[in-house]
Structure 1
Amino acid sequence: MSWTLDVDRGRQTWRYTEDKDHKPTDVDVHLLNLKAPGTTCPKGCNMTPAKSPQEAITKAFQYFSAVQTEDGHWAGDYGGPMFLLPGLVITCYVTGYSLPEAHCREIIRYMLNRQNPKDGGWGLHIEAHSDIFGTALQYVSLRILGLPAAHPGVTRARDFLRANGGAVGIPSWGKFWLAVLNVYSWDGLNPIPIEFWLVPYAFPICPGRWWCHCRMVYLPMSYLYARRTTAAETPLIRELRQELYVTDYSTINWPAQKNSINKLDMYAPHSTLLKGINAALGVYEGVHSKWLRDKAIDFTFDHIRYEDEQTKYIDIGPVNKTLNMLCVWDREGQSPNFFKHADRLQDYLWLANDGMKMQGYNGSQLWDTAFTIQAFVETGIAGQFPDTMRLANHYLDISQVPDNSPNMNHYFRHISKGAWPFSTVDHGWPISDCTAEGVKAALSLRSLPFHIAPISIDRVAEGINVILSLQNKDGGWASYENKRGPNWLEKFNPSEVFQNIMIDYSYVECSAACIQAMCAFRSQAPNHPRIKEVNGSIERGVRFIKSIQRDNGSWLGSWGICFTYGTWFGVEGLVAAGEPLTSPHIVKACKFLLSKQRDDGGWGESFMSNVTKEYVHNDQSQIVNTGWALLTLMAAKYPQREPIERGIKFLISRQYPNGDFPQESIIGVFNFNCMISYSNYKNIFPLWALARYCNIYLQKANL
């Protein structure tokens, strides 16, 4: 254990650092309340633990405002998935683009730090069990980055692979990357039919009806599959061909591997329908029309170029970012557009104490900032930090998307003017709940007792317009777009490792956030011309949220862990819409949460809840889960104070003397099976819960 001095843009803060596998104990918590020997407190730092909720709030506010960036957002670690960096490393190797040496060293350090100590493998994400997907991709990456086959970490990974049948059973995305690297035959992949992109939108299978992340990954994948884009054979590639498999590379029956998926990796098996279609497409590959394929190649590259230009070469996510870069190289070589791609690789890289990782987006800047603003405003002391709040308002202001993308229908894009993205305005993709949290944050800033040049109601109304446009027929809201395709499209899911990737579904989190935003808007703009439309939308949204509540009172979370997260949104949405606090929906939700409270007063839920879709306890209570649970109970005005006070005591006990909170288990998720980090959550949600506690109980807590 050690204290280290972090310096960020001239600001100095003390941060406690734990070993990557260390589990904090009661003794550690006690040690955290003591100043580290031989250190000097930064100016103004009170290195004694908080003794009350009010003091804990002040400390937390002071700490988090001190690490705000110059443009007003809060930067954070949004890593976790282990299949992202290998795509970058392979793309750079194939295209001949050299990463800086320092980057290579830190990437190696990250991969080795995240190697599972028990078996030498890697999993889908940093807390997952080892599998072939994670291990094979980290293995080839480490070898590309210069580690020899005899390196102890590489040797242990190779032993794991060979003990589990080698890389032949890697899932389809892994087969794809290894084929690009020329260490897996394209004959071992099920077809990725590029001609699908020529199907008219009127047909349900048109890719324009798929979830945007799915289509923006399979768009460049289909281009590269059609082109059979492959690395030139090198001595390293010849070595990898022998290292990755348990039999000689030249003897492997590649067509027999198309549906070979190791049991360690399988989460979403292929449907019978997909198996039949893959077989038919396999026949088609042998007789396809060159004219039609060339037309599809041109069509898809046009869409790839559009995506690049509309996102300023960031692209919607890290997978299609590196794939698009590879497509540009295949089409143009190391052209100016290729280097536009290369320049924005930096947007995805994050250097942390465990090394350099590739984030699951180009950051979570807007998302974290919008939550932070709302938490800060609810503390009641935001007026003491005018510079912090003005900066936060500035970031909110510059992040709202100013215009729609051109020629939206042709490129399957939804309106975006007035929306807020997840990260930055350059990225630009509109998202329902990010827009909702942006609206809520913008409106909450208008309540501050000092001049802040708030975002105008007219601009907030543009965000409301996006929200209204995104409501689905079932009354709920999906993520980026409306639900465009039928549920049976999920039977086409080819990924094996993810669920619910084919279409954009209605989610409790997105729906509740949109309801809250519209309720806040109508309270501040009751005479707006669209209020009647807003009211009807809220009513339909409430019905949807009620319809998907589980019998035990919970809601399944799809973007956080898990039932604690979903239930927080569900209750907040209903309460904002005016649902009576005696409603059985709210009463059952509170009963569910209270049944999960632990002896120490906290809540702790495992990421396995998302995987199994049943509540699974974490090994210990988690401050973020506890924050969500407490916010839910207090939003519902739960009448018994005792369980809430126990939770508040737990949060205070976990706070560091400098106002920071510990980084605990991974807390985010996508597609049910892959977890992702939100490092700012540990500073946002405990503070928010403490603030609400003081507001409700008039700051008369006696802890």
Structure 2
Amino acid sequence: MTAVEDTTGTRTAADAVEAAREHLLLLQSPEGWWKGELQTNVTMDAEDLLLREFLGIRDEDDTREAARWIRSQQAADGTWANFHDGPPELSTTVEAYVALRLAGDAPDADHMARAAAYIRGQGGVPATRVFTRFWLAMFGRWSWDELPVVPPELMFLPRWFPLNVYDFACWARQTIVPLTVVGAVRPVRPLPFELDELYPDYDVPRPTRTTGWDAAFQALDKALHIYQRRPAKAVRRAALRRAADWIIARQERDGSWGGIQPPWVYSLLALHLLGYGLDHPIIQRGLDGLERFTIRDEKGRRLEACQSPVWDTVLAMNALTDAGLPAGHPALERAAGWVIREEVKGPGDWSVRRPELPPGGWAFEFDNDCYPDVDDTAEVVIALNRVQHPLAEPAIERGVRWMAGMVSKDGGFGAFDADNTRTLCRRLPFCDFGEVIDPPSADVTAHVVEAMAHREMADSLLVKRAVGWLLKAQEPDGSWFGRWGANHVYGTGSVVPALIAAGVRPEKPVIRDAVAWLERHQRDDGGWGEDLRSYRDRSWAGHGASTASQTAWALLALLAAGERGESVERGVRWLVERQRPDGTWDEDHFTGTGFPGDFYINYHLYRLVFPLSALGRYLKGS
């Protein structure tokens, strides 16, 4: 007996779909969009307090509420992690500790003493990442001479030259350019307290390489330190002006830079250090815009690193369509109208490598005209293709044209740029946190393939090359790596439906191997989960606590492959039995990825839209 046929009085998949659909409809804004909270780790909140301390605008009420949130995320051992139920993370713990010192927490308080003991045991401040020591240098608690140098003269490198700013991914270049300014000015505004308790009583050895590129970059860094002490004044002034112009040109209407926290914060710091006062419209707009990213509730005050209304909206549209909502439903029409108005119609940094390509993509955020991305555009094309709106078709055509033009030389697709693959950027001593390039990935490429298939373009050369790229990218165990979601479950859940949509037969070995991998990794409770540690430790691949979004990803792949057996039934039952009375699901675990191995995201709407899609498709096929 299947979940659909259950007559024992327990809830069925149809019941779950109805409850989830109604809950999702209630979350739609009057303008037509959906947006769930985008939760990350406490470094967002710690760095916000540090920014405000540096600028002299830190408010005691906001500090108190931010500290309450930071304390609530501390583990019993005194540490902070980068994701729910994750291992302690040194740099995150240091930044949280310093923020709490700003809030007035005494170093001998129990929760602070436990944090400090962990920090010292891991090598203390000297063992933290560059970004953490960068912040401490601004407050006189680390020497600028002990940080890697990235000079603003970087702005003069031509686009064909290695390590020019466009060799870096969009999120990295937006961060590095303002940091070249901060690093050149080397400001020091001391904190009202010492941090001696965070330094071990022994020397922490620094890793050194004597051969290869690492040794070359260490030699370059030594040379840049010499130049930093006595730069060519005229050249330095011109470089700082060019960096400032570059930064200012990329501020969005809402005051942000790229709609993401790191470049936003560092751009404000850079411009302020170049003489832009707190009352300057650019600075004021930037500071005011942060309020839009601030959440205040009973848990305290916290900041979103980014917001995802376009992504959330089109995922919601697809989920509702999967759940049987008719194409002409007012909610879908209202959502389509909002999405169409969000189209990016001007050039951006992507134009550097594709100067002849007309614009036509979509970005992730409310306001981000410089950085549309392929992933959002693919999902927009799928969503608009499934609804009825008089303006949808021209927008879809522009989106398809732009998306097709962003293909990389190897046939795959990155998220924000084409052919952003120069791995030399990763070797800079400065780049010890997060991915700094944007090469093609399986999940983004799969979404493009699926979108093109919806447009009946599966036989095009573009799609055939992309399918070939996906076939080569399959892991030996049958899964695919997930760049933007956790991890092999997400990659496999994205690729299998795309390959099927492109015409790959379910009985082909590539599909059978993927199905077998998913079935092998189904948990005893019937769900699927993958811990984010799988990005650094392959033994975690496919292993972790079951979550609603990851269970849905696995089901979407199995259903696309034509599976209707015990594995699917157990997965469906897991979702049905764990649905909350309000129609959604609990999901404390993070299943989104910012930087593999370093930065992760809990998309609060994932726990609703993906299970709704999976259950809706299950019912349609039963």
Q: TM-score, normalised by structure 2?
A: 0.91
Which segment is superposed worse, 297-306 or 178-187?
178-187
1:509/1:570 contact within 8 Å kept: yes
- 5+ unaligned residues in a row in structure 2: which ranges? 1-8
- Find out whether 1:218 has 2:176 as its counterpart: yes
Partner of 2:386: 444
Partner of 2:570: 646
2:374/2:415 contact within 8 Å kept: yes
- Find out whether 1:433 has 2:358 as its counterpart: no
Give the Cα–Cα distance (whole angstroms) in 1 for the partners of residues 554 and 285 of structure 2: 44
Partner of 2:3: none
Partner of 2:47: 87
Partner of 2:166: 208
Q: Deviations over 1:529-571 (max 9, x none)?
A: xx9xx81211111110111111211101111111110001111
Identify the match of residue 349 of structure 1 among 290, 294, 300. Answer: 294
CA gap 1:509/1:389 in 2 versus in 1, 3 angstroms: same
Give the Cα–Cα distance (whole angstroms) in 1 for the partners of residues 544 and 491 of structure 2: 20
Partner of 1:43: none
2:170/2:371 contact within 8 Å kept: no
Partner of 1:333: 277
Query: C-alpha displacement at 1:204, in angstroms?
Result: 2.2
1:405/1:415 contact within 8 Å kept: no
1:445-594 → structure 2 map (5 Å cutoff) = 445-446=387-388, 453-492=389-428, 494-498=430-434, 500-501=435-436, 503-522=437-456, 535-594=460-519
- Which amino acid is the alignment partner of residue 304 of structure 2? Q
Partner of 1:184: 142
Partner of 1:110: 69
Identify the match of residue 545 of structure 2 among 620, 632, 652. Answer: 620
Partner of 1:691: 616
Q: Deviations over 1:623-660 (max 9, x none)?
A: 2111011110111112x522111111111011012212
Partner of 1:3: none
Give the Cα–Cα distance (whole angstroms) in 2 for the partners of residues 473 and 406 of structure 1: 18
Partner of 1:368: 312
Identify the match of residue 249 of structure 2 among 300, 306, 331. Answer: 306
Give the Cα–Cα distance (whole angstroms) in 1 for the partners of residues 132 and 491 of structure 2: 31
CA gap 1:330/1:174 in 2 versus in 1, 3 angstroms: same
Query: C-alpha displacement at 1:150, in angstroms?
Result: 4.5
2:123/2:200 contact within 8 Å kept: yes
Query: C-alpha displacement at 1:519, in angstroms?
Result: 1.7
Give the Cα–Cα distance (whole angstroms) in 2 for the partners of residues 148 and 435 of structure 1: 49
1:40-51 → structure 2 map (5 Å cutoff) = 51=11
CA gap 1:437/1:128 in 2 versus in 1, 3 angstroms: same
Give the Cα–Cα distance (whole angstroms) in 1 for the partners of residues 151 and 204 of structure 2: 18
- Find out whether 1:168 has 2:122 as its counterpart: no
Partner of 1:634: 559
Partner of 1:245: 199
CA gap 1:485/1:685 in 2 versus in 1, 3 angstroms: closer
1:476/1:511 contact within 8 Å kept: yes
1:25-424 → structure 2 map (5 Å cutoff) = 51-99=11-59, 101-118=60-77, 120-231=78-189, 233=190, 237-246=191-200, 259=206, 271-309=214-252, 312-331=255-274, 332-334=276-278, 335-351=280-296, 354-361=299-306, 363-382=307-326, 386-405=329-348, 409=352, 417-424=359-366
Q: TM-score, normalised by structure 1?
A: 0.81
1:571/1:632 contact within 8 Å kept: yes
1:140/1:240 contact within 8 Å kept: no
Secondary structure at 1:670's aligned position in 2? strand
Q: Deviations over 1:349-399 (max 9, x none)?
A: 2345543322221x111111111111110111347x934323322331232
Partner of 1:675: 600
Give the Cα–Cα distance (whole angstroms) in 1 for the partners of residues 139 and 496 of structure 2: 48
Query: C-alpha displacement at 1:92, in angstroms?
Result: 1.1
1:378/1:691 contact within 8 Å kept: yes
1:190/1:259 contact within 8 Å kept: no
- Find out whether 1:597 has 2:499 as its counterpart: no
Q: Deviations over 1:651-670 (max 9, x none)?
A: 10110122121123111112
Give the Cα–Cα distance (whole angstroms) in 2 for the partners of residues 92 and 414 of structure 1: 42
CA gap 1:646/1:123 in 2 versus in 1, 3 angstroms: closer
Secondary structure at 2:456's aligned position in 1? helix
Query: C-alpha displacement at 1:510, in angstroms?
Result: 0.8
1:667/1:677 contact within 8 Å kept: yes
- Which amino acid is the alignment partner of residue 371 of structure 1? L
- Which amino acid is the alignment partner of residue 93 of structure 1? E
Query: C-alpha displacement at 1:317, in angstroms?
Result: 1.6
Give the Cα–Cα distance (whole angstroms) in 1 for the partners of residues 355 and 126 of structure 2: 37
Q: Deviations over 1:14-47 (max 9, x none)?
A: xxxxxxxxxxxxxxxxxxxxxxxxxxxxxxxxxx
- 5+ unaligned residues in a row in structure 1: which ranges? 1-48, 262-268, 447-452, 524-530, 698-703
2:548/2:575 contact within 8 Å kept: yes
CA gap 1:131/1:346 in 2 versus in 1, 3 angstroms: same
Give the Cα–Cα distance (whole angstroms) in 1 for the partners of residues 321 and 220 of structure 2: 54
Give the Cα–Cα distance (whole angstroms) in 1 for the partners of residues 103 and 533 of structure 2: 33
- % of aligned pairs identical? 25
Give the Cα–Cα distance (whole angstroms) in 1 for the partners of residues 468 and 441 of structure 2: 13
Query: C-alpha displacement at 1:68, in angstroms?
Result: 1.9
2:149/2:430 contact within 8 Å kept: no
2:83/2:589 contact within 8 Å kept: no
Give the Cα–Cα distance (whole angstroms) in 1 for the partners of residues 128 and 355 of structure 2: 33
CA gap 1:464/1:652 in 2 versus in 1, 3 angstroms: same
- Which amino acid is the alignment partner of residue 610 of structure 1? Y
- Which amino acid is the alignment partner of residue 71 of structure 1? E
Query: C-alpha displacement at 1:270, in angstroms?
Result: 9.4
Q: Deviations over 1:174-205 (max 9, x none)?
A: 11111112222211212122222211112122
Give the Cα–Cα distance (whole angstroms) in 2 for the partners of residues 624 and 283 of structure 1: 51
Give the Cα–Cα distance (whole angstroms) in 2 for the partners of residues 133 and 406 of structure 1: 31
2:13/2:576 contact within 8 Å kept: yes
Partner of 2:589: 665
Secondary structure at 1:94's aligned position in 2? helix
2:447/2:494 contact within 8 Å kept: yes
Query: C-alpha displacement at 1:260, in angstroms?
Result: 7.1
Secondary structure at 2:302's aligned position in 1? strand
CA RMSD of aligned residues (A): 2.8
Give the Cα–Cα distance (whole angstroms) in 2 for the partners of residues 556 and 204 of structure 1: 28
Give the Cα–Cα distance (whole angstroms) in 2 for the partners of residues 614 and 102 of structure 1: 45
Give the Cα–Cα distance (whole angstroms) in 1 for the partners of residues 355 and 88 of structure 2: 37
Give the Cα–Cα distance (whole angstroms) in 2 for the partners of residues 550 and 309 of structure 1: 39
Query: C-alpha displacement at 1:259, in angstroms?
Result: 4.3
Give the Cα–Cα distance (whole angstroms) in 1 for the partners of residues 619 and 411 of structure 2: 35
Give the Cα–Cα distance (whole angstroms) in 1 for the partners of residues 534 and 184 of structure 2: 38
Give the Cα–Cα distance (whole angstroms) in 2 for the partners of residues 456 and 171 of structure 1: 46
Query: C-alpha displacement at 1:486, in angstroms?
Result: 2.7
2:250/2:370 contact within 8 Å kept: no
CA gap 1:50/1:511 in 2 versus in 1, 3 angstroms: farther
